[in-house]
Structure 1
């Protein structure tokens, strides 16, 4: 037993001696012994610090500014269709021709009635002028004089009525040529040649305007109240706020416009308020009825620190990143995140404007303070622009 205790004492003393040598080696220069293993390579990027705007995202629908169901102003049989279905037309372009012959005859008849009225009025005028000296000489009775004066007044009225009838007949003849009231894209012909078109009833076709277009969307009640408060404080315009729009097939929000209408009441059933933006459509990208993603500028300009989302790590309920520290060590920093601006995440707190964070190679960092070999890269947004939340 005595020999056993001597051996255990010798082992303990040897371990303590080796530990002392190791600690002494670490205290010289503050570095652990060089094992010869290469340092893990990581990509680092300097945080982006710039003034930004908050953008809130909504869903919406594209709508035409002008949508017209084209109906004839006069009845008749369709004589000709003067457009190609699906083409764009200009305001005033001829679209349909209704058989004009009955209306041309009606115009001729009205013009003849006008000539007759002119003749009657001229005769009544002569009669009244001749009666003037006769009544002074008492050659005719007062009753006959009044009758001639009345005939003149009636003749003038008949002329005006005939002129109105001619104008109506000419207008009806013009209405046999159905023209587009707006510029836009025309639909299919709902009535073809030979069919009867009833005035103010039959729908001949539809025309929808193309440029610009409306985008309707519905902000929620809380967002609306926040906008109203910012407007009262002067931190956000009360009208003509900019919007960015993207379609279902777009990456990001490549189109811009402005809000031109907000409803005067909140829908109590949905808790939303209807808003409308005007967006130019020179390339005819937008078609009425399409689904649209809408970003509305939700704040005034404010300074922000932005980072790539893929640099953010999670530790239970905390978010953190690795920052390149002294002697190229990966140092952990807990952060508070905000929304997304142009594909980069807002950091509300935890980072400084000149910090360099590790954005790639995070799996190689085994513990905070681990030495790394950094390669600097730009802080880039991901290919698909993320949505603001």
Structure 2
């Protein structure tokens, strides 16, 4: 006959073997998760905008006289110095025009000299009662006409020399030159349009629209910084940060009626030429001294209908904490305004298996350095 152990004996055996008693579920296995600490960091107080790079100086080069293009004297895309020669128009006709004007001026001066002599003679005859007042007055009028002709000839000569100078097209600013729209041998003139464009390089402007809400918040702030002391940083489209810091130098006097924004402009150093005219960038305004903020990896944030929350590890178990992220982020991290005080062990990896209250086995993960 087979004897079965009593329930009490089975329970005692189970305790001795560290096994669950009959009818009790086995404890859940701890879920492995990757964790990182919520850190308190000194972060710049900044506002983010979308901006565009603009050259301080921009010149559209045009021909001011008509003629055959004799030479293109620059390489497209190269940096150029102020006063550098860009195009040369055939000067022969304009040199001939200068000589013609010089000849007309010489004739005019000779006529003026003759008129002066005739007036002197007419006056001498009148003084000896051998001449008439009418003859003297006619001679004076002839002198005035000759003087006017000389003035006109001098102006024509100056115009001819100016037109000759226009055959040498130079750059009025230093910068970088774009493509040429014409090549040697073509006829160019005032109607030819833009021959090429030059944009200055250092410094550059960065313009960006600021909403009325943000603008009013700045104006009404009791501790708002002076406009000229607001630091401006920019990031490129690939997320990399530009190494120079700019300063706000202009705020538009009117609000754009279509977008209800105010255009703000900053001056940004560009010694290496990394900024290009028309480039789209992200703009961050540094509004004050760095402030202590709690930051966590963005991968830890979970959103649902109730808002945003994170899981933290408490006594070996997962616990949910509702948080309020800040308006900005610092690279791979997110600023937390409410819900965490810093120092909490936040679950970053393995969140798909985490539920409130389940046991977890925490392992630290490597955290990329964030910008402070």
* Superposition TM-score tier, normalisation by shorter sequence: 0.7 to 0.9
Aligned-pair Cα RMSD in Å: 4.1
How big is the shift at 1:108?
0.6
1:156-206 residue CA offsets vs partner (Å, 9 max, x unmatched):
2222222111111111111111112322332333222222112x2113522
For the structure 1 residues 151 and 265, does the alpha-carbon distance in structure 2 shift closer, same or farther, using more than 3 Å as the test? same
- 1:339 aligns to what SS in structure 2? strand
- 1:162 aligns to what SS in structure 2? helix
CA distance in 1, matches of 2:185, 2:139: 53
Aligned residues: 349
- 2:232 aligns to what SS in structure 1? strand
The equivalent of 1:203 in structure 2 is 193
The equivalent of 1:290 in structure 2 is 279
CA distance in 2, matches of 1:53, 1:121: 78
How big is the shift at 1:110?
0.8
CA distance in 2, matches of 1:270, 1:111: 60
1:366-385 residue CA offsets vs partner (Å, 9 max, x unmatched):
9779898998x998645xx7
CA distance in 2, matches of 1:220, 1:112: 66
CA distance in 2, matches of 1:371, 1:72: 76
How big is the shift at 1:142?
0.9
Aligned residue among 315, 325, 338 for 2:326? 338
- 1:127 aligns to what SS in structure 2? helix
- 2:74 aligns to what SS in structure 1? coil
1:215-271 residue CA offsets vs partner (Å, 9 max, x unmatched):
3332333223323333xx351334564322222234245443233333333333333
How big is the shift at 1:324?
8.2
The equivalent of 1:34 in structure 2 is none
Once the two structures are overlaid, the 10-residue window that deviates more, 356-365 or 180-189, is 356-365
The equivalent of 1:247 in structure 2 is 236
For the structure 1 residues 153 and 210, does the alpha-carbon distance in structure 2 shift closer, same or farther, using more than 3 Å as the test? closer
For the structure 1 residues 303 and 245, does the alpha-carbon distance in structure 2 shift closer, same or farther, using more than 3 Å as the test? closer
CA distance in 2, matches of 1:187, 1:277: 24
Unpaired runs of 5+ in structure 1?
1-9, 20-36
What is the 5 A alignment of 1:306-317? 306-310=294-298, 312=300, 317=306
1:308–1:380 contact (8 Å) kept in structure 2? no
Say whether 1:48 aligns with 2:40: yes
CA distance in 1, matches of 2:275, 2:242: 13
CA distance in 2, matches of 1:309, 1:92: 54
CA distance in 2, matches of 1:192, 1:361: 62
For the structure 1 residues 135 and 224, does the alpha-carbon distance in structure 2 shift closer, same or farther, using more than 3 Å as the test? same
1:77–1:99 contact (8 Å) kept in structure 2? yes
2:231–2:245 contact (8 Å) kept in structure 1? yes
For the structure 1 residues 240 and 219, does the alpha-carbon distance in structure 2 shift closer, same or farther, using more than 3 Å as the test? same
CA distance in 2, matches of 1:226, 1:239: 17
With the length of structure 1 as denominator, give the TM-score of the two structures. 0.72
The equivalent of 1:176 in structure 2 is 167
The equivalent of 2:176 in structure 1 is 185
The equivalent of 1:23 in structure 2 is none
Once the two structures are overlaid, the 10-residue window that deviates more, 147-156 or 169-178, is 147-156
2:38–2:340 contact (8 Å) kept in structure 1? no
Once the two structures are overlaid, the 10-residue window that deviates more, 84-93 or 140-149, is 84-93
How big is the shift at 1:42?
7.8
1:210–1:281 contact (8 Å) kept in structure 2? no
The equivalent of 1:264 in structure 2 is 253
